[in-house]
Amino acid sequence: MSRFLVGLLREQWEVKPVRPRQLSRRALLAGGAAALTACSASGPSQPSAPPSDSPETVLVKGLIAEKESTIALYSTLIADGARKLVPFRDRHQAHVDALRRHVSMASPAAAGSPSGSPPVSATPGEPQKKPSLARLRALEKKAAARRARQLAGLSPGMAQIVASIGACEAAHAAALPRSL
């Protein structure tokens, strides 16, 4: 029986010559077309559009621009001698610093104006008005009222920051001096 098994194994493990396989004309043409397509598609890729900002990021960038405009109004009055307003301006600058930690200000349109320069106007389309305490007070009241409406859809951490900013703006509206 062992001879039988050895013979069977030899037959199975014997190397038999294999006839080489020939490619058909159709297979050769299809392969060549696929290779050419792959080569032409591997050129430089088109730059993809930058991802759009989330609604929260858009809101935060808008808040930063609005705060910088408010800082510019305070800076204008401080430059005219209203030193009592320095703490108010500094609190707005702290708000901007806190907001900037949460967004990337890579796009030049969202960067806003530098905080030391006066804005073209506080609201687009609104004619430039001379900064005054009454204007600052009204600006702070409107901003505080807007913050409550802006909380919907924000992450919990950002909602806390925006709510705190609104509370501070309401306090500013009440605490601004009546005269300088």
Question: pTM of the predicted model, to two decimals?
Answer: 0.61
**Segment 10-17 mean pLDDT:** 62
Per-residue CA distances from 108 to 61, 65, 74, 105, 120 (Å)? 11, 12, 24, 7, 16
CATH annotation of 57-175 = 1.20.1260
| Extents of the domains making up the chain | 57-175
**Segment 166-170 mean pLDDT:** 95
**What's the pLDDT at 156?**
92
Contact 131, 76 (CB under 8 A): yes
Q: Is the confidence at residue 163, as pLDDT, over 70?
A: yes
Q: Which residue has the higher pLDDT, 25 or 40?
A: 25
Tens of pLDDT along 83-113? 999 999 999 999 999 999 988 765 444 444 4
Q: Is the confidence at residue 160, as pLDDT, over 80?
A: yes
Nearest to 170 by CA among 131, 136, 143: 143
State the pLDDT confidence band at 115, using cuts at 50, 70 and 90.
very low
Q: Is 16 left (phi over 0), alpha (psi -120 to 50) or beta?
A: beta
Distance (Å, whole) CA 144 – CA 113: 22
**What's the pLDDT at 38?**
66
Nearest to 94 by CA among 163, 158, 146, 168: 168
Q: Work out the number of other CB atoms within 10 angstroms of the CB of residue 165.
A: 23
The burial of 98, by beta-carbon neighbours within 10 Å (0-12 exposed, 13-18 middle, 19 or more buried), is given as middle
Least confident of 9-18, 58-67, 103-112: 103-112
Distance (Å, whole) CA 2 – CA 128: 108
Distance (Å, whole) CA 118 – CA 131: 10
